[in-house]
Amino acid sequence: MAKINFGGTMEEVVTSEEFTVQKAQEVLKKEVIAVLGYGVQGPAQAFNMRDNGVNVIIGQSPEDKPYWEKAIADGWAPGQTLFPIEEAVEKATVIQYLVSDAAQTILWPKVKAHLKKGDALYFSHGFSIVYKEQTGVIPPDFVDVIMVAPKGSGTSVRRNFVDGSGINSSFAVHQDATGRAMERTLALGIAIGSGFLFPTTFQMEVYSDLTGERGVLMGALAGMMEAQYAELRRHGHTPSEAFNETVEELTQSLIRLVGENGMDWMYANCSATAQRGALDWRHKFRKAVEPVFAELYNSVATGKETEIVLRVNGAPNYKELLNEELREMRESELWQAGAAVRSLRPEKRKK
């Protein structure tokens, strides 16, 4: 592992230069990897592993027709590389459990019944293992229990692989039944397209992940956008102006500068007026949201968020309710303005 200085703290990471694709292929040459679930992470990780020369099959319920048919449309062949979940588990030596958190709870008895001695049970999220009292997911002691958690959506995992940049991922070994759990984990992390891997634990991963998704990455971001947009509209700004100053400039300009060289570099490459205002107001915003983040982290650590996820996402009408919530967001003036602004981008007008 390479030692890297992260803001004064030394951490060890594994890069794709030191643990190469060729090394991953050697470690995994006798493995059959079953990707269970063809929803968000499944397709991306499966494609990347297949492109990296790893033996991959898909496990998906045929009754869940949209996902089964999507897998077929993507080139996975029923009876050859696409199987019902129980059959895929039987055929595999590594089982990538990539269905949703709620579905992991529901499907666990079927998956557990087909695990074999020496198998590796792989997760991309620590949820089911950390909250085992609520999920009931307690693996037998004869399998490795490992995790590689890409720091991005399935779309980003695939896109970064195709463009050669790779995705950052965390990794952890929860149970080493074979003595090979660590090398399997690192090999799978490289095979799915990670540019570098950093160590964590299942608990730390799920606490940070749930906090991040509800906070800066999605929940807080959407909430702040909605609040700023509404305030600008209240004062007579047009929808296009309010959207551009709230979303478009962030996503199409500023956040790219942050990604390239950091927040200070982005500040240094903005106007003096923007610099001064940002430097002053960031403290006000930080102080305003610190109590919200404290409440959020506590809700994650105590299992309250898990209870909500399992109850709501496990409801029979979950998809209908979700679609209604997403429809309400999509049809709001903010995101209708966004659709109009996106249609004006040069690459859209050329089509």
Q: Is residue 342 part of a domain?
A: yes
What does the pLDDT read at residue 313?
87
Q: Is 206 helix (H, G, I), strand (E, B) or coil?
A: helix
Kindly state whether residues 236 and 190 are assigned to the same domain.
Answer: no
What does the pLDDT read at residue 8?
83
Active site residues: 125
Token pair 């859209």: residue: 348
Residue 186 tokens, joined: 């690192």
Contact between 176 and 151 (Cβ < 8 Å): no
Q: Is 182 helix (H, G, I), strand (E, B) or coil?
A: helix
Q: Is residue 205 part of a domain?
A: no
Kindly state whether residues 170 and 223 are assigned to the same domain.
Answer: no
pLDDT digits (tens, 9 = 90+) for 53-83: 999 999 999 999 999 999 999 999 999 999 9
Residue where a domain terminates, one of 146, 168, 200: 200
How many other β-carbons are positioned within 10 Å of the β-carbon of residue 31?
Answer: 19
Residue where a domain terminates, one of 200, 232, 262: 200
Torsions phi, psi for 273 (to 5 deg): -65, -45
Q: Is 160 helix (H, G, I), strand (E, B) or coil?
A: helix
Instruction: Indicate the pairing of strand 144-150 with strand 167-175.
Output: antiparallel
Kindly state whether residues 84 and 10 are assigned to the same domain.
Answer: yes
Q: Is 177 helix (H, G, I), strand (E, B) or coil?
A: coil
Residues 6+ apart with CB under 8 A from 151: 167, 168, 169, 170
d(CA 134, CA 106): 12
Kindly state whether residues 224 and 182 are assigned to the same domain.
Answer: no
pLDDT digits (tens, 9 = 90+) for 264-298: 999 999 999 999 999 999 999 999 999 999 999 99
d(CA 29, CA 39): 26
Go through the chain and tell me how many residues it has. 351
Q: Is residue 207 part of a domain?
A: no
d(CA 162, CA 202): 28
Kindly state whether residues 230 and 127 are assigned to the same domain.
Answer: no
What does the pLDDT read at residue 12?
86
List b or e across 16-25, with b for residues whose CB sees 16 or more CB atoms inside 10 angstroms: beebebeebe
What does the pLDDT read at residue 34?
98
Kindly state whether residues 237 and 307 are assigned to the same domain.
Answer: yes
Query: Among residues 40, 38, 125, which one has the least CA distance to residue 83?
Result: 38
pTM score, whole prediction: 0.88
d(CA 113, CA 188): 24
What does the pLDDT read at residue 351?
60
Residue where a domain terminates, one of 147, 172, 200: 200
Number of domains the chain contains: 2
Contact between 229 and 246 (Cβ < 8 Å): yes
Q: Is residue 283 part of a domain?
A: yes
Contact between 37 and 100 (Cβ < 8 Å): yes
Kindly state whether residues 164 and 270 are assigned to the same domain.
Answer: no
Domain that holds residue 142: 2-200
Residue 178 tokens, joined: 């074979």
The one-letter amino acid at 264? D
Kindly state whether residues 8 and 102 are assigned to the same domain.
Answer: yes
What does the pLDDT read at residue 334?
97
Query: Among residues 191, 236, 244, which one has the least CA distance to residue 29?
Result: 191
d(CA 207, CA 292): 15
Kindly state whether residues 285 and 224 are assigned to the same domain.
Answer: yes
What does the pLDDT read at residue 9?
87
Residues of the chain where predicted confidence (pLDDT) is lower than 70:
348-351
What does the pLDDT read at residue 350?
63
d(CA 68, CA 66): 6
CATH of the domain at 115: 3.40.50.720
Kindly state whether residues 285 and 159 are assigned to the same domain.
Answer: no
Q: Is residue 65 part of a domain?
A: yes
Kindly state whether residues 14 and 146 are assigned to the same domain.
Answer: yes
d(CA 212, CA 113): 34
d(CA 174, CA 171): 10
Token pair 């305030």: residue: 231
Q: Is residue 206 part of a domain?
A: no
What does the pLDDT read at residue 29?
96
Kindly state whether residues 136 and 254 are assigned to the same domain.
Answer: no
d(CA 149, CA 168): 9
Instruction: Indicate the pairing of strand 194-199 with strand 9-15.
Output: antiparallel
Q: Is residue 54 part of a domain?
A: yes
Q: Where are the beta strands (DSSP E) in 27-125?
A: 33-36, 56-59, 82-83, 94-97, 120-123
Q: Is residue 146 part of a domain?
A: yes
d(CA 16, CA 189): 9
What does the pLDDT read at residue 250?
95
Contact between 314 and 108 (Cβ < 8 Å): no
